[in-house]
Amino acid sequence: MQKEMFVVTAEKIREAPAARKRCWMKRCITDFESQEVYALRRKEREVMEKAEIFDILSRCETARIGIQGERFPYVVPVSFGMEVVDGKAVVYFHCAKEGRKIDLLRANSNVCVEADVFIKTEKTAHGITTRYESVIGFGRCEFLEDEGEIRRALRLLTDRYGYPNYALEDCKSLSHVLVGKIVLDEVTGKRNLP
Tell me the per-residue pLDDT of 148-185, one tens digit each, with 9 for 90 and over. 999 999 999 999 999 999 998 878 777 889 999 999 99
In this structure, which amino acid lies at residue 91?
V
Q: Pinpoint the residues of the chain covered by CATH 2.30.110.10.
A: 44-192
The answer to whether 181 and 109 are in contact (CB under 8 A) is no
Instruction: Average the pLDDT over each of 1-15, 66-80, 178-192 and give the range with the smallest value.
Output: 1-15
Is the model's pLDDT at 6 over the cut of 70? no
User: From CA 57, how far away is CA 4, in angstroms rounded?
Assistant: 34
Of the candidates 64, 66, 76, 7, the residue with the CA atom closest to the CA atom of residue 37 = 7
Hey, is 125 helix, strand or coil? Answer: coil
The per-residue pLDDT for 78 is: 97
In angstroms, the Cα distances linking 61 to 10, 117, 119 are: 29, 8, 12
Range 44-192 classified under CATH 2.30.110.10: yes
Higher-confidence residue of 36 and 152: namely 152
Residue 39 gets which letter from DSSP? Answer: P
User: From CA 150, how far away is CA 65, in angstroms rounded?
Assistant: 19
- Mean pLDDT, rounded, for 31-39: 51
User: From CA 14, how far away is CA 31, in angstroms rounded?
Assistant: 20
User: From CA 87, how far away is CA 186, in angstroms rounded?
Assistant: 11
Higher-confidence residue of 174 and 23: namely 174
Is the model's pLDDT at 96 over the cut of 50? yes
